[in-house]
Structure 1
Amino acid sequence: MSSTGPNSKQAQRKAAMTVLAHAAAADIAGRLAAIAVPAHENLREPENGLVMLRGRIGGDGAPFNLGEATVSRAAVRLATGEVGFGYTLGRDARKAQMIALCDAMMQSAELSGEVEAKVIAPLRVAMNAERGRKAAETAATRVDFYTMVRGEG
Structure 2
Amino acid sequence: MNATTHQRRAAAPGEEGRQAVMAVAALATLDELEQAVARLGRPASRDLRSPEIGLVMLRGRIGGDGAPFNLGEATVTRAAVRLETGEVGMSYLLGRDPIRARLAAVIDAVWLRGDETLVKTVFLDPVRARIEAERRERAERTAATRVDFFTLVRGED
TM range (shorter): 0.7 to 0.9
Partner of 1:144: 148
Q: Aligned partners of 2:60 and 2:153: how far apart in 1?
A: 39
Q: Among 17, 22, 25, which residue is 1:17 paired with?
A: 22
Contact between 2:82 and 2:109, CA under 8 Å: does it hold in 1?
Answer: yes
Once the two structures are superposed, residues 49-107 of structure 1 have per-residue CA deviations (whole angstroms, 9 ceiling, x without a partner) of: 00001111111111011111011000011112211111111100111111111111111
CA RMSD after TM alignment: 1.8
* TM norm structure 1: 0.88
SS in 1 for 2:146: coil
* TM norm structure 2: 0.86
**Residue segments in structure 1 that go unaligned for 5+ positions in a row:** 1-5
Q: Among 118, 123, 143, which residue is 1:119 paired with?
A: 123
Once the two structures are superposed, residues 28-56 of structure 1 have per-residue CA deviations (whole angstroms, 9 ceiling, x without a partner) of: 11222222122211110001000001111
SS in 2 for 1:80: coil
**Are the structure 2 counterparts of residues 148 and 97 from structure 1 closer, same or farther at C-alpha, using a change threshold of 3 Å?**
same
Q: Aligned partners of 1:133 and 1:7: how far apart in 2?
A: 35
Question: In the TM superposition, what is the alpha-carbon distance from 1:144 to its structure 2 partner?
Answer: 1.0
Q: Aligned partners of 1:125 and 1:133: how far apart in 2?
A: 12
Question: In the TM superposition, what is the alpha-carbon distance from 1:148 to its structure 2 partner?
Answer: 3.6
Q: Aligned partners of 1:135 and 1:82: how far apart in 2?
A: 39
Superposition misfits of 4+ residues, deviation over 6 angstroms: none
Q: Among 65, 68, 72, which residue is 1:63 paired with?
A: 68
Provide the identity percentage: 52
Q: Aligned partners of 1:57 and 1:46: how far apart in 2?
A: 34
Partner of 2:92: 87
The answer to whether the aligner puts 1:103 opposite 2:108 as a matched pair is yes
Q: Among 57, 76, 83, which residue is 1:78 paired with?
A: 83
Partner of 2:138: 134
Alignment size in residue pairs: 147
